[in-house]
Homo-oligomer: A and B are copies of this chain.
Amino acid sequence: MAESLENPRSGAKAAALDRYAEAGVDIVAGNAAVARYRDVLAGWRHPDQLDAIGGFAGLFRMPGDGERALVASTDGVGTKVLIAGELGRYGGVGRDLVNHCVNDILVCNATPLFFLDYLAVGRLDPDAAAEIVSGCADACRAHDCALLGGETAEMPGLYARDHFDLAGTIVGMVRVDAIPDVTTVAAGDAIVGLPAIGLHTNGYSLARALIPRPEWGEPFGDTTYADALLAEHPSYYRAVRAIQAVATVKTMAHITGGGLLDNVSRTLPRSCKAIFEQQRWRVPPLEAELVRRGNLDFEDRYRVLNMGIGYTLVVPFTEAPAALEVVPGAVVIGWIESRAEGDPAVVIHPARNER
């Protein structure tokens, strides 16, 4: 779904999906809100604001410095917080949040500088709060990123006694000449996919509707539903830097709400489309289970869920083997073709047993 490139706003978008709407997330309203935001913001744009790539982060020219830009993004972890709160497992959501934000600005090729968190609670439990902030601190430190501050708000009446919400903002930096240029993408380029680990931070309203609370403690494959649902959103920072050292990375996408269909399309030139072949990678068990339980149609799967791919990179065809070699689990999941008028920006060919 299109969103204002000039003022990236995520979350309100996500998928046009019946199952999702039944779970309480209204995509029509989301699209309407994004359109209204565009109107609100149409009146004025700061002269130091640069065009963002696909709306994952905002770009701001470093004042008095023609060579560098600041890159910022705000995000939350969605209703994953309800599962974490219910199970009293707080550390993971802090890492989820920081890693999500790191990946968002990585699409602009930015290196993290600092992060600030917002933690809102119904009743402040110092141990739980410390565990959440500690998770943020761990993930910040792993990226040599300062945890520069934060706000903890106790808001009775807005949050139920044991509920909390968690959001955060990251600021990074990039050389202006190192900002990915989507116009370099060309037919024949390969698309490398990096494996997702669980749902990351999207689709939890749907997952909670399809896998009810009483089942969370039950075994699920080698693990439990709880463990599978709370699997941590990985950072792709080191993998991307490793690939950039051996291959030309033309454009990237972080596969969040909107899935492969919406996120990849936002980072392509109008002249190109992305073709994915689902048989080239394995759909993880939790996603497969949600597809089965929700009887999700093909389009729905690839809008609400990541379906096993967390991050994509477009590289020249001949350089793809080098990229795969440096990142275990990386797979060529598709390629770029010329896009004719009226073609969709993203096509996903199902695996044979899914047709």
Q: Are A148 and B60 touching (Cβ within 8 A)?
A: yes
Q: Are A25 and B156 touching (Cβ within 8 A)?
A: yes
Residues on B with beta carbons closer than 8 Å to the beta carbon of A37? 129-130, 133, 150, 152
Chain B, Cβ-Cβ closest to A81: B158
Task: For the complex, give the distance between the alpha carbons of A45 and B144 in Å.
Answer: 10
In chain A, positions 223-267 with a C-beta closer than 8 Å to chain B are none
Does A310 belong to the interface (CB within 8 Å)? no
Q: Are A144 and B46 touching (Cβ within 8 A)?
A: yes
Contact with B along A98-140 (1 / 0, CB 8 A): 0000000000000001101110100111110110011001000
Number of copies: 2
Q: Are B150 and A74 touching (Cβ within 8 A)?
A: yes
Residues on B with beta carbons closer than 8 Å to the beta carbon of A210? none
Q: Which residue of the partner chain, among B64, B151, B165, contacts A158 with CB atoms under 8 Å?
A: B165
Residues on B with beta carbons closer than 8 Å to the beta carbon of A8? 149
Does A282 belong to the interface (CB within 8 Å)? no
Q: Are B118 and A150 touching (Cβ within 8 A)?
A: no
Tell me how far the C-beta of A164 lies from the nearest C-beta in chain B, rounded to whole angstroms. 9
Q: Are A158 and B169 touching (Cβ within 8 A)?
A: no
Residues on B with beta carbons closer than 8 Å to the beta carbon of A73? 116, 149
Q: Are A148 and B72 touching (Cβ within 8 A)?
A: yes
Does A173 belong to the interface (CB within 8 Å)? yes
Contact with B along A55-82 (1 / 0, CB 8 A): 0011110111100101011111011011
Chain B, Cβ-Cβ closest to A85: B158
A contact residues, range: 35 or more
Chain B, Cβ-Cβ closest to A208: B157
Does A312 belong to the interface (CB within 8 Å)? no
Task: For the complex, give the distance between the alpha carbons of A165 and B76 in Å.
Answer: 12
Q: Are A157 and B118 touching (Cβ within 8 A)?
A: no
Does A303 belong to the interface (CB within 8 Å)? no
Task: For the complex, give the distance between the alpha carbons of A146 and B8 in Å.
Answer: 12
Residues on B with beta carbons closer than 8 Å to the beta carbon of A81? 158
Residues on B with beta carbons closer than 8 Å to the beta carbon of A117? 74
Chain B, Cβ-Cβ closest to A20: B154
Q: Are B79 and A158 touching (Cβ within 8 A)?
A: yes
Q: Are B49 and A148 touching (Cβ within 8 A)?
A: yes
Chain B, Cβ-Cβ closest to A63: B173
Task: For the complex, give the distance between the alpha carbons of A130 and B123 in Å.
Answer: 30
In the complex with contacts A7-B147, A46-B144, A146-B46, A39-B130 CB distance below 8 A: yes
Tell me how far the C-beta of A7 lies from the nearest C-beta in chain B, rounded to whole angstroms. 6
Interface CB pairs A-B, < 8 A, 24: A7-B148, A9-B150, A12-B153, A12-B154, A24-B154, A25-B154, A33-B126, A33-B130, A33-B152, A35-B126, A36-B126, A40-B137, A46-B145, A49-B146, A52-B149, A57-B149, A63-B113, A64-B68, A70-B114, A73-B116, A73-B149, A79-B155, A81-B158, A158-B163
Nearest 8 CB-CB pairs, A to B? A24-B156, A58-B148, A46-B146, A36-B130, A169-B169, A12-B152, A58-B149, A32-B126
